[in-house]
Structure 1
């Protein structure tokens, strides 16, 4: 994250919000967190958001994800993460698959 927290969120400096507390503790670009800590937060937030989505997940998607961890470099795995986050933010999603 090269831009400050407020660029990505509704945080406004001086608003006394939870995000202000986080920024004060960990820096405006989370520079006081390790990569592992940032990834842990990402994992928890993704799990929470995913749990709130309608529909299920095809079993094959779990297999594809597992194969990605086995066959892709860490750099490519990070690239996949960036692509998916970008698509989720911009609303680029396939229609739900309905199995009969």
Structure 2
């Protein structure tokens, strides 16, 4: 069962924010959006966050992305999005300085 947007964000009722506007237009769980629209927004937000993150991706991560696209079934790709989102928000990540050096 989906939880309302306020569960995941700082949105509070009547705060006049973009989140309030989105909730009013598309529902508290975005039930008035298509699956494709939700995936597009995930992609857009992820691209923006990636652009703002310091450093760059190792070449091998691009290969991993291709492997995920070509090898994982839909259910596992959806689960991976959820797992990565959870790790970004609540987990630990290497800093740019901690990345392994190329040999």
TM superposition score normalised by structure 1: 0.92
Aligned residues: 100
Unaligned runs of 5+ in 1: none
2:81 is matched with which residue?
Answer: 81
1:56 is matched with which residue?
Answer: 56
d(CA) in 2 for partners of 1:12, 1:5:
9
d(CA) in 2 for partners of 1:88, 1:8:
13
1:15 is matched with which residue?
Answer: 15
Runs of 4+ in 1 over 4 A off after TM superposition: none
1:35 is matched with which residue?
Answer: 35
TM superposition score normalised by structure 2: 0.90
How far residue 10 of structure 1 moved from its aligned partner, in angstroms, is 0.8
C-alpha RMSD of matched pairs (Å): 1.5
Q: Which moved more, 1:22-31 or 1:6-15?
A: 6-15
